[in-house]
Amino acid sequence: MSQATAPEFGISKNVKRIGRTDLAGGGQVVVEDGYAFVGHMDPPHGTTILDVRDPKHPKTVAQIEIPQGVHSHKVQVSGDIMLVNLERYRSKEKQPTGLKIYDISRREKPKEIAFFQTNGGVHRFTFDGTYAYISAHIEGYIGRIVMIVDCKDPTRPQEVGRWWMPGQWTGGGETPAWESTAHQCHHPIRRGERLYVSYWHGGFVILDIADMSRPKFVGGYNWSPPYPSPIHTTLPIPWKLMNRDVMVVVDEEAGKRAPLPPAFMWMVDITDETRPVPISTYAPAASATVAPGNQYGAHQPAEQVVDNKMFVTWFSGGLRVVDISNPYRLAEIGYYVPEPGRGQKTVKSNDVYRADNGLLYLIDRLDGLEILESEV
């Protein structure tokens, strides 16, 4: 039997660091037109805007603070419009929650222009410049549901449609067949007329949104149980691999799973959307030896897919680079594990963004933003 070990920090293969800055722990980072936008895990830190046009020397140009009782750990940007979430967080204080919209035409002075409120707030979401696809807490439902918000006029966001897993609408007389909020939306990703939605311990679902006012269930799959980790992200690949339509699915590592396996990444064949089929998995070799409790496991892929390389955050396992050219036989081709940030003893690589210039922006859940370059 292999002896349990601690994660190894400060190591890399085929990925090099270009720049770094200490920054309060982040939940998401996005990059557009030479600026990075970071949503933070804990108040009073809300959102930070950084000038990264010189990637060796990132500079903070604006910070938005938030009150106790909420966090604003997700952010999306399109042009001069920025959306951030507000979600109830670790407090009994009742603060307004939902989706805030900012005019960021002056990056150093973001200006709030709208607030789309929901009961309990918004978790992760995506934004295509016209519509926001959100994971929302809504009164009358147990757990978060899918909601589509029209932001064509960013000063007047309007709900377009919603979808929930049968059993969630307790206010309408439905009864869940699961415990508490085990089945709930994590975040939707759009491709064409489909939404690919991670649904936590409810697996994933594929929705037809040709009519956005009435999303329709197309197919889905759930492997929990027997696998213990919830599904965090469902990311369709925009082209066929080996003549098949496939989707990357990443579970989230909770860190306390022994003796069950830690979270990993899956490849799922969705050629027949009504009958998804898991075809392979990936986890770093060290997953078999790192001691439970170190949160060494999968979390989030870069959602910007431009080739057959996936960049996936792995909490204390840092950033992993995976070749998916053969979806039946995944291959690790690189990694980057930072040193712990300021005042920290461990690493929790939380989110990564792949910018148009090819650079990678890696945010840590505890401290620090790394700017990286892949050498593969």
SS3 for the chain, per residue?
A: CCCCECCCCCEEECEEEEEEEEEECEEEEEEECCEEEEEECCCCEEEEEEECCCCCCCEEEEEEECCCCEEECCEEEECCEEEEEEEECCCCCCCCCEEEEEECCCCCCCEEEEEEECCCEEEEEEECCCEEEEEEECCCCCCCEEEEEECCCCCCCEEEEEECCCCCCHHHCCCCCCCCCCEEEEEEEEECCEEEEEEECCCEEEEECCCCCCCEEEEEECCCCCCCCCEEEEEECCCCECCECEEEEEECCCCCCCCCCCCCEEEEECCCCCCCEEEEEECCHHHHCECCCCCEEEEEECCCCCCCEEEEEEECCCEEEEECCCCCCCEEEEEEECCCCCCCCCCCEEEEEECCCCEEEEEECCEEEEEEEECC
pLDDT at 89: 94
pLDDT at 274: 98
Residue 228 burial (CB count, 10 A)? 17
Per-residue pLDDT of the chain (376 residues; tens, 9 = 90+): 467 899 999 999 999 999 999 999 999 999 999 999 999 999 999 999 999 999 999 999 999 999 999 999 999 999 999 999 999 998 877 899 999 999 999 999 999 999 999 999 999 999 999 999 999 999 999 999 999 999 999 999 999 999 999 999 999 999 999 999 999 999 999 999 999 999 999 999 999 999 999 999 999 999 999 999 999 999 999 999 999 999 999 999 987 677 788 999 999 999 999 999 999 999 999 998 999 889 999 999 999 999 999 999 999 999 999 999 999 999 999 999 999 999 999 999 999 999 999 999 999 999 999 999 999 9
pLDDT at 210: 98
The token pair that represents 149 in the structure block: 């918000």
Measured CA to CA in angstroms, residue 277 lies from 200, 269, 309, 355 at distances of 18, 5, 21, 31
Q: Which residues of 263-289 are buried (b: 16+ CB within 10 A; e: fewer)?
A: bbbbbbbbeeeeebeebbebbbebbee
CB-CB contact of 149 with 159 (8 Å) = yes
Which residues have CB under 8 Å from 143's CB, separation 6+? 168, 180, 181, 182, 183, 184, 185, 200
What does the angle CA 261 – CA 353 – CA 209 come to, to the nearest 5 degrees?
80
Q: Which domains does the chain possess?
A: 11-374 (2.130.10.10)
CB-CB contact of 311 with 354 (8 Å) = yes
User: Which own/partner contact pairs does 108-113 have at CB distance under 8 Å and 24+ positions apart?
Assistant: 108/49, 108/61, 108/62, 109/62, 110/47, 110/49, 110/62, 110/64, 110/82, 113/154, 113/155
Q: Residue written as tokens 């995976």?
A: 322
**Cα 140 to the chain's mean position, in Å?**
26
CB-CB contact of 137 with 105 (8 Å) = no
CA-based nearest residue to 183, from 196, 167, 163? 167
pLDDT at 2: 63
Measured CA to CA in angstroms, residue 272 lies from 215, 219, 275, 352 at distances of 19, 9, 5, 30
pLDDT at 345: 97
pLDDT at 260: 83
Which residues have CB under 8 Å from 261's CB, separation 6+? 227, 228, 283, 287
